[in-house]
Each structure stands twice: as structure tokens, then as C-alpha cells.
Structure 1
Amino acid sequence: MAAEQDAEGRAAARPLLTDLYQATMALGYWRAGRAQDQAEFELFFRRCPFGGAFALAAGLRDCVRFLRTFRLRDADVQFLASVLPPDTDPAFFEHLRALDCSGVTVRALPEGSLAFPGAAAASVGATPGGAAAGNAAPLPGQLCQMLAPAAGQGPTVDLAASVETWLERVCAHLGLGVQEPHRGERAAFVAYALAFPRAFQGLLDTYSVRRSGLPNFLAVALALEGLGYQAVGVRLDSGDLLQQAQEIRGVFRTVAAQFRVPWLESVPITVSNSIDEEELARLAQKGSEVNGIGIGTSVVTCPRQPSLGCVYKLVSVGGQPRMKLTEDPEKQTLPGSKAAFRLLGSNGSLLMDVLQLAEEPPPQAGQELRVWPRGAQESCTVRPAHVEPLLRLWVQQGQLCEPLPSLAESRAFAQLSLSRLSPAHRRLEQPELYQVALSEKLQALVDKLSASSPRESPMVGAA
């Protein structure tokens, strides 16, 4: 057994094969006192590769190997200490050394399963005492939701109160109602500023750049300026990046003049969001007002072999559902811990996949079911001849629940999965899209959270 684990460890990806973003988020959770919250994340994708209608689940063995062997070595911790703020509490690094995945639970599609856009491919949960990690790629930043909380080390004054005062002045200058900027986003900005007062940067497009992200950032930046700190920049990750950067620069100039804060005029603006060569040339033109460009997927992969673009989002904290609300409907997430089922006709043909809340009873073969197809304005009914559960439990409390299939078994299952697809879904040009639907209860929860005021509902949050 020891020899087997050693072999797994040598083959597994190292925990620091990730972004610095994950390490800063880890420290942010620690300083915000949110490290012991039980949490659940979902992994899914929004579009199929190659313009197709389906994908095949793969990589489960690598995921499990990563989880079972996860451990930050002394060299890893020393490296993190060299890139994180120098005033970071040494106790934070001691907890990093003790992290493992003994509290992690993973539910995922079996290797070789058909996977469709918008449907959960995997779910990762963790309870206090363990570590929450990503199940498709190393995401050690999420581990620190399970760390013991520590006191913040940023400004000791009531930054939140100062921010609210500045918000009124900023909104008056921008012609906005003080209730328009999203309170949850502002709280996140304040928490980040407290954790990293010398490196405060705001992502402006979570809800609305003009009506929320920008005024919230300005209020926090101006409050920090009164304490002797300067914000280091803003980032945009959706929409017309060039136009938004130009508009934001104009606002920075007028606000800098209005409140006599000259440095605000030149706050760096960074943009990202699958930027390719054409968009890069557009953003680099004279007068774009863009100071930094995040280059990633579209540049380092062949356009004819694009990446899948997976999404890993928070759906539950402490048993309470969470969803991301945004003006971009495509980026809105589905709240709560969920189960997924594949409905089939009497001849074995695929009818649709259904997502529902975990506490709902599963669909039954032969019984009529009312569902809400994604993107549809009305519900419909379906009577499946067969029902297959999709997400299987592979890891519970850090322990493997059943043997992983061999490569030959996974390949055979993949061939079987493909054989069940209709020709309309398999064609290379303009394939028919496979239908994914929500249960009535899940749709009702989405409607409730979408309609409720984010300032009043504790169940709404961006991830």
C-alpha cells in the first residue's frame, strides 16, 4: 500500500501548479475569518469544444490521485511566503503545512460519460477539519475555506464606515442612487482591502461596471487613500473591453479632479477574457487606455483545438445556497447542492438531462415530470421510460469509495455513451443542441434569488 501511494504521489500534479490568484484567495479567506465555513463548489462548462453538442468526461483518476496525495511541502510553503505580503501571520503558513484532503467529498460523472453544457460535471464539498480542493485541476486556493480563522492584519480603523461615507459622495458625482452599487460586492472589496491594503485591485464586472463595480471600487479606493494606501488597479473580464476601459479612464479623471486625488487618474486598467490576436491588436492601439492585458486560453492553444473553458463556482456555504447574479445571463450560476439525472426514452434514446436540488426525490421511470429547459420561458412535461443518476460518489471524507475503472473500461464506456447519441447530436456541422432542464423546485429557487434584493437576501452571493 505504501509503495502504491508513493507511486501515486510521484505521478500526481503538485499543489502549486496553479495561479498566484489561488494563494491570495487562500490568505483572503483566512484573514476574513471564513476558513471554517463548510462549502460546496461545482464544475461545469458553458460551451462544447469544436462547435459540437457534447463532450466526454475524463480525468477522474488524475483528480483522485491529486486529492489523495495532496500535501504542501516545506519548499511549497516557503515559496508562498516569498510571494505573499511580508506581514502575513506565520500561523497561516503553519496551517498550510498541515492541510490535507481528509474532509473532501467528490461526486462526478463516471469516466467516459457524455457531458453537456450547463449541467454539473462534478461537485466538490468539504467540511471543517478537511480541505476543499478542485477536482479537475489543482486549485489549492480553495483549501483555505477549511483553515482556522485569524484576525485581519489590514487597517485597524472602521474601513467599512469610511467606505459608506465615500460612496455617497461618489454616487452623487456619478449621478447614481446610493442604493444602486451592490452591497455584497462592496463588502467583498472591503474584505480584500483589509487583507491586502497595499495591493487592492477591483474586478469591476461582477454585476454592473457602471452602476456597481466602479462606484464600489472608487469608494473603497478613496477610503484607503485616507489611510495612506493607493489602490493598484482595476480589471475587466467581460463585455466590450476597449470601450469600457476608455469610459473608466474618463471617470477616473473626473473623480481625481473632483476629490483632489491626482494619482487616481492613472490607476492601471487590466483586461482579460479569452483575448485572441485580433482583440489584442485592438486593445493595444493608441488611446485604448488599457494598461495590462491578461493573455491566456486563445493565445496558448490552437484555435482549431480550443480549450473547454470549465467553470468552478461556489453553490453553497454552510448549507445555504449561493448563486452569482450578473447582467450577463450566461455567467449566472445555479444555486444549491444538486443532483443530476439523464432521462431516456423506451428505445434507450436520450431525452434530456435534469438538474434538481439534492433534497428532492429522484425522477421515476414512467411518471410524468414537469421541468424547465434552460433558456426557455415556459415549463414542459416529460415521461421518461428510464432514469439514470449521473453524479456518482467517488471520494468521501478524503477516502476512495469504489475502485476507479481501468483505461480499457473507461474506453468501452465512452464508446457505449457515444453510441446512444442521435445522429443529429453527432454531426460535425451545426449539431442539434442537447437539452438540459431544471426541476420546478430548482427553477423556483433561481427565480426567488434573482428577484430578491441582493442587499436584503443573505442567500445571494457572487463566486
Structure 2
Amino acid sequence: MILGSTSILYDSGMYGSVVQPLLTDLYQITMCYGYWRSNKHNQNSVFELFFRKNPFKGEFTIFCGLRDVIVFLENFTITDEDVQYLKSVMPDAEPEFFHYMQSLDPKQMKIRAQKEGSVCFPRVPLITLEGPLALCQLVETTLLTLVNFASLVATNAVRYRLAAGDDKILLEFGLRRAQGPDGGLTASKYCYVGGFNATSNVLAGKMYGIPIKGTQAHSFVTSFSKISELKEQKTTLKSKNGAQECDLVDLTIKYLEDVKNVLEIPEIHEGELASFIAYACAFPENFLVLIDTYATLGSGIASFLAVALALDHIGYRATGVRIDSGDLAYQSHVVHDKMCLVADRLGVEWFKTGLTIVASNDLDEETLYSFRNQDHKINAFGIGTNLVTCLNQPALGCVYKIVEIEGRPCMKLAQEVGKMTFPGNKKVYRLQGSQGTAILDLISTEHEPKPEINQPVLCRDPFTATKRAYCKPSSIQELLVPVWDENGCVEPVQTLQEVREFVLESLKSLRADVKRKLNPTPYKVSLSNKLFDFMHDQWLQNAPIGQLD
């Protein structure tokens, strides 16, 4: 049942008190002091935020968190209270440094980024920042924490959507298992962006305009023991058209005998039936109950159908049932069959297609794929722990590296080739084929001309000289676009709903074999011929020559 507003809010609320300049690692501030003492703090620099490997053994990632980055920058302030604290942890720093810190203004930076909700790939910059060295350095950790988990959980949600299929309802039920309240809110927000239909998180609904849904737990069912408990409660309901008033207890008991005869169920649990009647009295328009407290295929489904028939008698349509234990695929078949049998025998045709079966119980991506192979009858999935904690991979691993200082390209070398960076300020293009699907992402130097449509482009593997190919794109998309300059945000920030819609649009640009779970095809990220040569020249110039003894 939807219990909250679906309007989209500009979500500065959660971050107003938590995401601030001091939400960073100490070494960002100590480096800023080092830059300032060395008079390097205002040198023009370029930094890139990217990741090195797709999560969940997949071949794509969803870029999220840009909206939160913009909110952070718009509210960037180092307060007097912040300065007093910094002085206490850096007692030997010169006082003028703290005056400098308070003068920092994010509008001194220029930022380009991929569009939020884009499918993205390893080593391709998600965000590029250009501006004073100390300022660009200071925001590193904050940007990483805003982008890392948002992108990870959105990617996880998309994978669950692909596993479940487009026709299923996905409900995020993870708040109680999330990594603290901020993790719970972030997860709810970006699971919705990644394709989930609703959340159980009421605060997320209030703050972000996400649809909220929820029903009941076993405690509600087990809190009732007898029908007689309902005598002290109001169990009369007006029919939906207001023409009559009926006692739902009497009406349910009347239909219960019919249901028991049709389903050949001799006994039901009286407390369970009482709890369902009480819940129906409270929510006649949205009657969806948990039926596995005692016997899913016995008392649970029979009691539900008796109450559903009583509600139907006075003009209301029950919503459905939730199953939270046992063999969910098998039980969904049996529950659906019983619904159809009662529909045929008692003449309530809409029971066949109008009742929802919701499944929950620590579901994961593999289970959803398994269900698809069992031709299950589940309409909606409630997913919590494995989704919001990203149990299969708890971190994305975004990094933030300097690539240029005062026009001089910078390059990180390492014994692990995978940790090397591409030097210099760059541009990124997505080359697409005639069917509109992406062929590869091409990274070029800043001043190279843009590739041309229907003209061959030489694309190089970053680390293997013999891996090269020509690509003749039918369309070309420049991925890094301006989002922030001296005036602040360049364009209005996308709403959460717009980001959600763009995720679905962006996914359509990927071939099915790149998105599949089992042995997905690696997506190519290539360098232009000029950038390849330049990077390898820099590599040779900066790599020390070893000595063999």
C-alpha cells in the first residue's frame, strides 16, 4: 500500500548537517597545509574521479551521486567552529592558514562530469575537476564518499531489476539491515534510482518523494489468539458505495466455510484469522497480509481468501499476500492455484489476476534468476539485506587522482599496471553503432579534434600495443559535460525521477551480452592513438631504470 507522497524533493535535508568540508580524511587538510606552506595552493590542477573495476563480477556500473556533490558544493562553508577544531588538531599550523581555509570557494573550480544515471566503465573519468590545487585536493574524500556507495547500490539495484524482469514489482525493505541511518537513506534513494518501485523507509519517502509501501510483520499476526478479541473493536465497515454497513467478522466467518470446503482445509488458526479481519478493518482498500506465520498453504491462504471474499461482498478488492519463508517459488504456484480455484467455484473472477503475491526472505540476485527458471507466480519481491549492504561486494573502489598541474601532465606509476593513471586533461566519447548501442568509450587528449561520424577512428588498448582496431561510429556522444563553474551549478540539477528514467534509457544503449550475469562480454575502453603514444612516452620518461646484479 502506498502511504506517502510521490513528489520529488530537492534533497539537501540529510546532507545539511552531515556532509560538510570536515567530512574528509585528515591527510586532505594536512596536504592543503603543505601546499599552502609551499606556495603551491593556487596552482592550477586537474583531478579525475574514476574506478578501476566493475562491481559484482559484471561489465557495467551506474554513475550516481552527482546531485549530492552539487548540494555539497552549494553548501560548502568552513565555520568558525570548524576552525577552532582544526586548530586543536593542528596546533603547530600558522594561524594565517586557517584564514585561508575559510576563504576557499568551490566556484573557483570548473567541473565536468558524466550525466548522472549513465552506464559507465573502468578508468573512464566520472568527474573531472580543474582549479586551485589545495581546493581540489580538499574535496577528494567527500566526493568519493558521495559517489562510491551511491553508484554501487544503484548498480546493485539495476542488477536485481535485470534478474527479476521488467514486469515485476521490486520493493526495498533494507533499512533495518543497512549500515546505519545514513546508509539506509542512501540505499533507499539509489535503489529507487536503480529501478526499484518503492521502499519501506518512511523517512526516505518524506525526504526524496520515493513511493513507500509496507504491510505487517509476524508480530501483528501472533498478537491475536481468538476471534472473540475483536468484539471490543470496531469491526463494522461501510460498503465502498456507502449503501450498507456490515460486520466484517460475521461476513468473513460466513465465507470461511465456503473456502474451507473448496480448498479442503479442515481447520484454520483462529488468531491468524482474527488478525486478518482486524487488518482488513483498518485497511479495506489495501488489504495485503503475511500468510506464513502458521501454515502458508493451509490456514494462511484460507484465512486470507475468506477475508478477501468478505471485502469483495461490500465492494472492496483485497491487494494480496506476502510469503516470507519456505520454498517461495513452489508456494507461489500453490497459492495462485488456490486463488484460481476459489475464483472458479465461488464466482470471483478477478481473484485470478487481481491478487498480488509478494515474496521476501533474504532474497538475492541468484535467487531471482532461479525463480525465473521455475515459472513462478510471484508478482513482487521485497528485498533487504543483500541489496542495501551490497553483500557480494561492499565497496566500488572509486579513486581520485591528479592528472595535471600547471599544464604539466601527471602520471602515477605502479608495479601493478592496473593502478597506473592516464596523464593529462582529457575528453571522453562514447562511439555508437547503427543500432544505437555503444561500441566503446574512447579517451583522447584535451586538444584533439572530436572523432567524426562514419569516419574510421583508431582505438588503442591502453596497455597492449598490438591490441588496436578501427571503429566507424554512426553516432558520437561526448561524455564529460560542464556541470559547475564560477557561477555554481551550470544547469538545474536533475530530479531523482529524472535520474531514474535516465538509468533505464542508458541501459538500453548496452548490448544484452554486456548486461548478462553469466560471462558478460567485456566493454572496451580505448585510448586515441595520440593519447596512447603520449602515455607510453610519459611512462618511459618517469619509470626508473632497474639494475640486475
Q: TM-score, normalised by structure 1?
A: 0.59
Aligned amino acid, residue 18 of structure 1: T
Q: 2:451 aligns with which of 334, 358, 363?
A: 363
> Take 1:81 and 1:122, find their aligned partners in 2: how far apart are those partners?
32
In the alignment, is the contact (CA less than 8 A) between 1:119 and 1:355 conserved in 2?
Answer: yes
1:365 positional shift: 0.7
1:414 aligns with 2:527: no
Pair 376,44 (structure 1): closer, same or farther in 2 beyond 3 Å: same
Render the CA deviation track for 1:74-115: whole Å, top value 9, x for unaligned: 11111111112x221111111112212121111001111111
Render the CA deviation track for 1:359-390: whole Å, top value 9, x for unaligned: 11111111111120234332221111110110
> Take 2:487 and 2:411, find their aligned partners in 1: how far apart are those partners?
26
What's the counterpart of residue 117 of structure 2? 112
What is the root-mean-square deviation in Å for CA atoms of aligned residues? 2.7
> Take 1:136 and 1:59, find their aligned partners in 2: how far apart are those partners?
13
What's the counterpart of residue 421 of structure 2? 333
What's the counterpart of residue 438 of structure 2? 350
In the alignment, is the contact (CA less than 8 A) between 1:366 and 1:384 conserved in 2?
Answer: yes
What's the counterpart of residue 462 of structure 2? 374
In the alignment, is the contact (CA less than 8 A) between 1:42 and 1:120 conserved in 2?
Answer: yes
1:60 positional shift: 1.0
Pair 449,83 (structure 1): closer, same or farther in 2 beyond 3 Å: same
In the alignment, is the contact (CA less than 8 A) between 2:31 and 2:134 conserved in 1?
Answer: no
Aligned amino acid, residue 89 of structure 2: V
Q: 2:530 aligns with which of 422, 441, 457?
A: 441
> Take 2:446 and 2:30, find their aligned partners in 1: how far apart are those partners?
32
> Take 1:409 and 1:5, find their aligned partners in 2: how far apart are those partners?
14
> Take 1:45 and 1:403, find their aligned partners in 2: how far apart are those partners?
26
> Take 2:421 and 2:93, find their aligned partners in 1: how far apart are those partners?
33
In the alignment, is the contact (CA less than 8 A) between 1:15 and 1:139 conserved in 2?
Answer: no
Pair 139,438 (structure 1): closer, same or farther in 2 beyond 3 Å: closer
Pair 136,401 (structure 1): closer, same or farther in 2 beyond 3 Å: farther
**Structure 2, unaligned runs of 5 or more:** 1-9, 146-388
What's the counterpart of residue 60 of structure 1? 66
Pair 131,444 (structure 1): closer, same or farther in 2 beyond 3 Å: closer
Q: Counterpart of 2:41 in 1: which secondary structure?
A: coil
Pair 448,386 (structure 1): closer, same or farther in 2 beyond 3 Å: same
Pair 131,123 (structure 1): closer, same or farther in 2 beyond 3 Å: closer
Aligned amino acid, residue 121 of structure 2: F
Which of the pair has more CA radius of gyration? 2
What's the counterpart of residue 404 of structure 2? 316
What's the counterpart of residue 127 of structure 2? 122
> Take 1:125 and 1:22, find their aligned partners in 2: how far apart are those partners?
17
> Take 1:6 and 1:333, find their aligned partners in 2: how far apart are those partners?
33
Pair 135,347 (structure 1): closer, same or farther in 2 beyond 3 Å: farther
What's the counterpart of residue 540 of structure 2? 451
Render the CA deviation track for 1:270-304: whole Å, top value 9, x for unaligned: xxxxxxxxxxxxxxxxxxxxxxxxxxxxxxx7641
Render the CA deviation track for 1:209-253: whole Å, top value 9, x for unaligned: xxxxxxxxxxxxxxxxxxxxxxxxxxxxxxxxxxxxxxxxxxxxx
> Take 1:93 and 1:11, find their aligned partners in 2: how far apart are those partners?
21
In the alignment, is the contact (CA less than 8 A) between 1:103 and 1:129 conserved in 2?
Answer: no
Tell which deviates more after alignment, 4-13 or 365-374.
4-13
In the alignment, is the contact (CA less than 8 A) between 2:63 and 2:117 conserved in 1?
Answer: yes
Pair 16,434 (structure 1): closer, same or farther in 2 beyond 3 Å: same
Pair 63,123 (structure 1): closer, same or farther in 2 beyond 3 Å: same
Pair 117,31 (structure 1): closer, same or farther in 2 beyond 3 Å: same
Pair 404,88 (structure 1): closer, same or farther in 2 beyond 3 Å: same
> Take 1:396 and 1:302, find their aligned partners in 2: how far apart are those partners?
34
> Take 1:424 and 1:6, find their aligned partners in 2: how far apart are those partners?
38
Q: 1:48 aligns with which of 51, 54, 61?
A: 54
What's the counterpart of residue 91 of structure 1? 96
Pair 116,324 (structure 1): closer, same or farther in 2 beyond 3 Å: same
In the alignment, is the contact (CA less than 8 A) between 2:47 and 2:136 conserved in 1?
Answer: no
Identify the structure with the greater helix proportion: 2
Identity, % of aligned positions = 36
Pair 371,131 (structure 1): closer, same or farther in 2 beyond 3 Å: closer
Aligned amino acid, residue 410 of structure 2: R
In the alignment, is the contact (CA less than 8 A) between 1:113 and 1:413 conserved in 2?
Answer: yes
